[in-house]
Amino acid sequence: MFQINQDRDDLRVKFCGLAETGQIQQSNDRSAAIDPKLYDEVFDGEVDCKTLESVYTLFNSDHPPFHRGHSLSVSDIVQITENKNNYLHGFFYCESVGFENIGFDPAQTQKPDDLLRVVAIEPGKPAYVAEVADQLRSFQQAVRGRIEVTYPFEGNAVAVSNAVSKLDGMPGNRTINGEVYAGTMFIVGDRGDGSFCSLTDEQTERYLAEFQKPEIFDDENMDFGFNMT
């Protein structure tokens, strides 16, 4: 997903519809086409949605853990790269009503320099690669609350999870070294000085493989889990 960065939006087209944006740009001797250089990438991941309307609902009611922007709104662009129905692909401009398929070059967009590459693990889902801003607020948003850092792995990688996930009744996620983790968590590199760093390619591949299979847990006893086949 891509959203206009207001610092680069000199014509103030953020939150404008497609036709209005084209008119404003043409009146300033610019192309009517959407300018990808105005946009930041704010989310890259898989969501359990079958339609663009359900994507809109999701990003306005319960943001995915690693979403870095505001609620989905007019002028935002949704990129669909793969879906189970295999009929919806491409870039879609959010209008006041519905979406419009447009041409768009994501290579010209930008994203923050402080992003960390992590392996994200949500309950009931295969692990996937995600990016999170290197700041406490973003870590808290990802795990839905106060963070807890644990060291269940060899080498410079740590697990970041919700500190009160079990007390809050979050669903079981994974068992690591006999310990059950609940709620959304992520694995990130550890510099050894209290700060985080991106996972290496080798670490990313290792933890993606290790946590590809979700686990299922007894609701009344979170001490046991097994891999689904």
Q: How many CA atoms lie within 13 A of 199 on its CB side?
A: 24
Residues 50, 7 within the same domain = yes
More confident: 95 or 88: 95
Domain holding 29, by residue range, is 2-108
pLDDT per position as a tens digit, 46-65: 888 888 999 999 999 988 99
Long-range contacts of 81-84, Cβ-Cβ distance < 8 Å, separation of 24 or more: 83/50, 84/50
pLDDT at 218 over 90: no
Residues 120, 135 within the same domain = yes
Q: Which of residues 89, 108, 127 is at a domain's end?
A: 108
Q: Which of residues 64, 87, 108 is at a domain's end?
A: 108
How many residues are listed for the chain in this entry?
229
Residues 64, 43 within the same domain = yes
Question: Within a 10 A sphere around the Cβ of 175, how many other Cβ atoms?
Answer: 17
Residues 58, 122 within the same domain = no
Q: Which of residues 74, 108, 142 is at a domain's end?
A: 108
- pLDDT at residue 130, as a whole number: 94
Residues 57, 141 within the same domain = no
Locate 3 and state its tokens.
């959203």
Residues 29, 65 within the same domain = yes
Residues 137, 103 within the same domain = no
Residues 7, 67 within the same domain = yes
Q: What's the number of domains the chain is made of?
A: 2
Residues 17, 95 within the same domain = yes
pLDDT at 221 over 90: no
- Say if CB 183 and CB 203 are below 8 A apart: no
CA gap 144, 167 in Å, rounded: 13
Residues 56, 32 within the same domain = yes
Residues 102, 40 within the same domain = yes
Q: First CA to last CA across the chain, in angstroms?
A: 32
User: How confident is residue 220, by pLDDT bands cut at 50, 70 and 90?
Assistant: low
Residues 79, 138 within the same domain = no
pLDDT at 115 over 60: yes
- pLDDT at residue 228, as a whole number: 34
pLDDT per position as a tens digit, 121-153: 999 999 999 999 999 999 999 999 999 999 999
User: How confident is residue 194, by pLDDT bands cut at 50, 70 and 90?
Assistant: confident
